[in-house]
């Protein structure tokens, strides 16, 4: 689990909470950043907000990798990638907030990338249906 304090808060206080829980400097009533939008690649582009008080919880943080949770995941992925014993072939984040599988590349409308995203989405839809049938 990459965001344990956010998870605990979502279970105890606000079921629809999806951000980290780090206080934002200068905004005492606006807590956390969207961990999905805190990665360094194409940081701060489409779909992200620079407003720490964004009501849709889309704040990307004050700078890339500002959230310790993302630093931890990135360091783990990099260390594993460079190990002799094995490497991560694929990384996927599962979100209970929307019961959705979120895909990267939302920062662009490039047709080639959109095609790839659609193909991946078809695979995810199939996996989702399999999971639902297990219930």
Looking at the domain assignment, is residue 126 inside a domain? yes
Which residues are CB-neighbours of 94 under 8 A, at least 6 positions away? 101
Mean pLDDT of 93-122: 68
| Residue 43 in tokens | 């940081």
Same domain, 15 and 52: yes
Same domain, 39 and 68: yes
Same domain, 73 and 123: no
Looking at the domain assignment, is residue 39 inside a domain? yes
User: With bands split at pLDDT 50, 70 and 90, how would you rate the model's confidence at 76?
Assistant: confident
Same domain, 10 and 69: yes
Same domain, 74 and 45: yes
Looking at the domain assignment, is residue 98 inside a domain? no
Partner residues linked to 49 by β-bridges: 59
Same domain, 54 and 18: yes
Give pLDDT tens digits for 4-19. 999 899 999 998 898 9
Looking at the domain assignment, is residue 80 inside a domain? yes
Q: Can you give the residue range of the structural domain that contains 69?
A: 4-89
Same domain, 75 and 17: yes
Mean pLDDT of 44-56: 91
Mean pLDDT of 93-103: 62
Same domain, 80 and 40: yes
Q: What is the domain count for the chain? A: 2
d(CA 121, CA 70): 24
pTM of model > 0.85: no
Task: Find, among 89, 95, 88, 100, the residue nearest to 127 by Cα.
Answer: 100
Same domain, 28 and 76: yes
User: With bands split at pLDDT 50, 70 and 90, how would you rate the model's confidence at 24?
Assistant: very high
Same domain, 116 and 70: no
């Amino acid at each position: 689990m990459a965001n344990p304090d956010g998870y605990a808060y979502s279970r105890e206080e606000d079921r629809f909470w999806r951000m980290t829980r780090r206080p934002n400097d200068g905004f005492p009533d606006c807590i956390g950043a969207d961990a999905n939008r805190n990665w360094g690649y194409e940081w701060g582009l489409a779909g992200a907000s620079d407003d720490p008080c964004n009501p849709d919880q889309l704040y990307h943080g004050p700078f890339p990798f500002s959230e310790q949770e993302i630093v931890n995941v990135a360091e783990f992925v990099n260390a594993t990638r460079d190990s002799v014993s094995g490497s991560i072939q694929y990384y996927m984040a599962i979100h209970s907030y929307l019961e959705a599988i979120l895909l990267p590349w939302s920062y662009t409308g490039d047709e080639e990338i959109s095609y790839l995203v659609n193909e991946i989405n078809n695979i995810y839809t199939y996996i989702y249906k399999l999971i639902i049938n297990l219930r």
